[in-house]
Amino acid sequence: MRKSKYNDIKNIFIDSIDNDNFVELPLTTFNYQTLEDSLNKPLKMILLFGRPGTGKSMILNRLYHNLKNIREIHYFDAPILSEKEFLKSIYESISSEKIPNNMRVNFDGLLKYVQNLKGRREITFLLDECQLYSEALMEKIRLLSDTRVVKFVITLHKTENEDIIAKEHFKTRIWEIVELRNASIEDLEIYIQKKLIQKGFVEVANMFTPKHINFIHHFTKGNFRETNKFLYTLFNIYEYYDINTPEKLLGTKLSKKILEMTAIKIGYIND
Q: Mean pLDDT, consecutive 10-residue segments, the chain of 271 residues?
A: 87 83 87 92 88 92 94 93 94 92 90 95 94 89 93 84 52 74 95 95 95 97 96 96 87 90 92 62
Cβ proximity of 52 and 157 under 8 Å: yes
The predicted pLDDT at position 113 comes to: 96
Which pTM does this prediction carry? Answer: 0.87
Strands (E) in the chain, as ranges, are 45-50, 73-76, 123-127, 150-157, 174-180
Q: Which CATH architecture has domain 26-180?
A: 3-Layer(aba) Sandwich (3.40)
The predicted pLDDT at position 21 comes to: 76
Distance CA 221, CA 152 (A): 30
The predicted pLDDT at position 248 comes to: 83
Residue 173 CB neighbours (<10 A): 19
Task: Give the start-to-end residue ranges of the domains of the chain.
Answer: 5-20+184-266, 26-180
The predicted pLDDT at position 49 comes to: 87
203: DSSP letter: H
Strand order in the sheet with 73-76: 73-76, 123-127, 150-157, 45-50, 174-180
For 104-121, the pLDDT digits (tens) are 899 999 999 999 999 999
The predicted pLDDT at position 271 comes to: 62
The predicted pLDDT at position 170 comes to: 57
Judged by phi (left if over 0) then psi (alpha if -120 to 50, else beta), residue 167 lies in: beta
Q: Is 184 buried (19+), middle (13-18) or exposed (0-12) by CB count in 10 A?
A: middle
Secondary structure class of 135 (helix, strand, coil): helix
Question: What's the chain's average pLDDT?
Answer: 89
The predicted pLDDT at position 199 comes to: 92
The predicted pLDDT at position 9 comes to: 96
